[in-house]
Amino acid sequence: MRHITQNGLDLIKRFEGFSRTVYFCPAGYPTIGYGHVVKPYENFSAGIDEAQAEELLRQDAVIAERAVLRLINVPLTDGQFDALVSFTYNLGGGALQRSTLRRKINREEHADVPEQFMRWVWAGGRKLKGLIRRREAETEIYAL
């Protein structure tokens, strides 16, 4: 199976940020580490360190990688794959599945991708500067 590169992992880490304790993300989900959504059966009351957060990130990235591999049926460069895994890590496979972004990529309409990324900058009913910066960064590495 194909995996995200270190460049892609670094992108996710940069935008998710590290938290050793549980917090609620802008969409309202309990989150820890580098954007790991806490499952009902998980207990992080003692917090986590960066090594544990990196392991959770890698486990969660596999879910995003599988979604990208399942939903995108054209060849992708490492940069394109990394950008799509970051996008899917952030928004979930369902968002990629129902997106015009996916349809444009599968039709190899790569020139339309930047505009499609920028449609996904909302959370909790608000346009977020952090999501705008993330989509811009994903657009940049998509072009590599």
Say what the pTM is: 0.94
Which residue pairs, CB below 8 angstroms and at least 24 apart, start in 18-21? 18/50, 18/53, 20/47, 20/48, 20/49, 20/50, 20/53, 21/47
Name the strand (E) or helix (H) holding 21: strand 19-24
Going by C-alpha positions, the residue among 52, 48, 49, 17 that lies closest to residue 35 is 17
| pLDDT > 90? residue 38 | yes
Q: What is the maximal distance between C-alpha atoms in the chain?
A: 47
Give the C-alpha distances (Å, rounded to integers) separating 52 from 7, 18, 133: 19, 11, 26
Per-residue confidence (pLDDT) for residue 53, from 0 to 100? 98
CATH class of 6-142: mainly alpha
pLDDT tens-digit readout, 71-125: 999 999 999 999 999 999 999 999 999 999 999 999 999 999 999 999 999 987 8
pLDDT tens for each residue of 111-131:
999 999 999 999 878 899 999
How far apart (Å, rounded) are the C-alpha atoms in residues 127 and 130? Answer: 9
Active-site residue numbers?
16, 25
Q: Are 100 and 118 in contact (CB under 8 A)?
A: no
